[in-house]
Amino acid sequence: MEPQVKALFNESMLEVAKTLYPMDEGSLKLLGGFESFVYEYTLNQQGYILKFTHNSHRTRDQIDSEFDFVNHLYKQGARVSRPVTTRHGNYTHRIPVDMGYFTLSSTEKAAGNRTKDLLNNPTLIDNYGQTIGEFHRYTQTYQPSFNIDRRFTWYEDPLIVDARKYLDDTDRFILQELNEVIEAIKQIPMSIENYGLIHTDIHAGNFLVDQNQNLTVFDFDDCAYFYFLSDIAIAIFYTVFFNPNRHEISKPFITALLKGYMKQHVLKKSDFLQIELFFKLRILILYLALKRSTQPTDPFTQKYNSIYFEDLKNHRPFLNMDYEALYDEIAFQSMI
């Protein structure tokens, strides 16, 4: 989050939230603030999440469109954190500030716990793939509700649009890399089977797992119209991106993930073979997000840049892998 946005937030907004959402006395607690100010609260022992989002990140209309999509998935039977309304029956509330406004919103808190060892849990990996596949199947029937704006397309995200202002002379080449990968992705043939409104950030930090290894997904803040392959690439990227042996350990994970995915939705080989483009886009997007929202001395940022800055400069692939052979192997195993 940019410093000028942080400076706009004040404690009086919490009092506004307390008047709009019934909550147990003293239960409101800060969870974090990377792109929004995120709080947790309870009501009758049920957990809820509360967010304050500045319009420089997402407008109120964009958050309304996010919730409209989540409600569609919920009605289809997907395991997602359902939005909750204010006392006035609205999903969002606008709080004006000196520069723009914050949008207040709330969702049910997902059931379950964080996964600690995703790579070594075949059942969970299979369910992970099936969950993504279900979302992609359900999104094919999604139409925005009356008075709901269409959610933005992936390359309209403010982080991409404003990328130039986060870069300096030391990393200006990032902009060219970003423009090239965007143009390459735009050339991929588009159809209802491979493109639609998707989560776009469906990593292990955005779902919880219950005792039966079922996922409940939350934080659709980045949802956008994009190729389905992006969700698959995100799942793979964030599972292995800090693993020093990612080139060696990725194949069994990808195999299990895609076998689960294909139980719910078809992934064509021609699409899968483009996955390195989506890995590169994610590497660039995360670089920009960290440049915008953290200090250079931040430990996570330092670790990330120490691995991926030189990879970007030298055009190294995210994974050294024969994707065509891998797809053929997965397709064959899925037929057995």
83 with 190, same domain: the answer is: no
Q: What is the pLDDT of residue 335?
A: 63
Model confidence pLDDT, tens digit, residues 11-57: 899 999 999 999 999 999 999 877 799 999 999 989 999 999 999 98
220 with 126, same domain: the answer is: yes
Reported as a pLDDT band with limits 50, 70 and 90, residue 3 is: confident
Q: What's the mean per-residue pLDDT of the chain?
A: 95
295 with 175, same domain: the answer is: yes
282 with 324, same domain: the answer is: yes
177 with 225, same domain: the answer is: yes
3-state helix/strand/coil string of the chain:
CCHHHHCCCCCHHHHHHHHHCCCCCCCCEEEECCCCEEEEEEECCEEEEEEEEECCCCCHHHHHHHHHHHHHHHHHCCCECCECCCCCCCCEEEEECCCCEEEEEEEECCCCECCCCHHHCHHHHHHHHHHHHHHHHHHCCCCCCCCCCCCCEHHHCHHHHCHHHHCCCCCCHHHHHHHHHHHHHHCCCCCCCCEEEECCCCCHHHEEECCCCCEEECCCCCCEEEECHHHHHHHHHHHHCCCCCHHHHHHHHHHHHHHHHCCCCCCCHHHHCCHHHHHHHHHHHHHHHHHHHCCCCCHHHHHHHHHHHHHHHCCCCCCCCCHHHHHHHHHHHHHC
94 with 59, same domain: the answer is: yes
164 with 293, same domain: the answer is: yes
What CATH number is associated with residue 71? 3.30.200.20
Q: Domain total for the chain?
A: 2
Model confidence pLDDT, tens digit, residues 166-222: 999 999 999 999 999 999 999 999 999 999 999 999 999 999 999 999 999 999 999
88 with 222, same domain: the answer is: no
245 with 188, same domain: the answer is: yes
Q: What is the pLDDT of residue 1?
A: 64
Residue 101: pLDDT over 80: yes
133 with 85, same domain: the answer is: no
Q: Which domain holds residue 28?
A: 3-108
238 with 156, same domain: the answer is: yes
What CATH number is associated with residue 167? 3.90.1200.10
104 with 129, same domain: the answer is: no
Q: What is the pLDDT of residue 142?
A: 97
